[in-house]
Amino acid sequence: MTWEELEQLPDEIAGEIELWDGRVVWVRKGPPEHQDYSATLWSALRRCAREGMSAAPDHCWRVSIETNIFFGSTGKSDFVTPDFLVYRCLEREYQNVRASDVLIAGEVLSPSNSEQDIEAKKAKYASGGIPWYWEVTLGRNPRRIARVRAFALETEHGPLPDGVAPLRPANYLLAGEWLGDVHDGIDFAHPFPIHIPWNELEF
């Protein structure tokens, strides 16, 4: 399917589709908690980005929610829609976000997400060269953000036995992990200083 064909579909159907090199990938909508905590994390990251820009005026970052990331320098028939993302400020208003613009792509995991779906999405982000991938796990009783993980992109692998090669040319390595019942908050230095106390993520 092409982007032009996707635009001909009703909004309620098109909104549940991603195109991976023209292949239709259905995206399940999560429960209300999924949207609630996506927005909560977006707000906290936006605060950190603004503080970072105040300290480093020569940098400009944007934080958005459920915004398409298009792969390649042209065309729109290869895209994914993360739950939240951080990207460099674009030259023009209403410009499409390309994978080369993105610094963090993040997913809030819902109970309906299978391990296969999660790994496929992570591999897609890695193939686009997005340097950071964040993964947010929700908890129950009480509902909350239970864990946040930050993964760094690795494009060069270490020595492997003869005849063995990585399945993918780029992979993510776990670079940070924060648990709601262990840590006071998220404390990370990339792509700008990120300091989020855990109570800021409560809803």
What pLDDT shows up at residue 158?
Answer: 76
By CB atoms closer than 10 A (0-12, 13-18, 19+), residue 146 is middle
The mean per-residue pLDDT over the stretch 181-187 comes to 92
pLDDT at residue 110 greater than cutoff 80: no
Angstrom distance (rounded) from CA 175 to CA 181 = 19
Angstrom distance (rounded) from CA 76 to CA 5 = 11
What pLDDT shows up at residue 170?
Answer: 85
First to last CA, the chain: 38
Distance of CA 91 to the CA centre of its chain: 22
More confidently predicted of 141 and 42:
42
More confidently predicted of 177 and 163:
177
pLDDT at residue 114 greater than cutoff 90: no
- The angle subtended at Cα 135 by Cα 82 and Cα 72, nearest 5°, is 40
Q: Where on the phi/psi map is residue 58: left (φ > 0), alpha (ψ -120 to 50), or beta?
A: alpha
Nearest to 88 by CA among 75, 73, 98: 98
* Backbone dihedral angles phi then psi of residue 75, each to the nearest 5 degrees: 80, 160
Angstrom distance (rounded) from CA 182 to CA 191 = 24
Q: With cut-offs at 50, 70 and 90, classify the pLDDT of residue 162.
A: confident
Token representation of residue 194: 């990120």
What pLDDT shows up at residue 115?
Answer: 85
What pLDDT shows up at residue 117?
Answer: 86
Strands 23-26 and 17-20: antiparallel
The mean per-residue pLDDT over the stretch 196-202 comes to 92
Q: With cut-offs at 50, 70 and 90, classify the pLDDT of residue 150.
A: very high
What pLDDT shows up at residue 71?
Answer: 96
What pLDDT shows up at residue 12?
Answer: 86
Angstrom distance (rounded) from CA 46 to CA 104 = 12
The mean per-residue pLDDT over the stretch 76-103 comes to 95
Q: With cut-offs at 50, 70 and 90, classify the pLDDT of residue 128.
A: very high
- Choosing among 1.20.1300, 3.90.660, 3.30.70, 3.90.1570, the CATH entry for 31-201 is 3.90.1570
The residues, any chain, with a CB within 8 Å of residue 67's CB and separated by 6 or more, are 81, 82, 85, 97
| Average per-residue pLDDT for the chain | 92
What pLDDT shows up at residue 44?
Answer: 97
Give this prediction's pTM. Answer: 0.92
Domain range list for the chain: 31-201
Q: In what order do the strands lie in the sheet with 23-26?
A: 23-26, 17-20, 79-80, 69-70, 97-98
What pLDDT shows up at residue 101?
Answer: 97
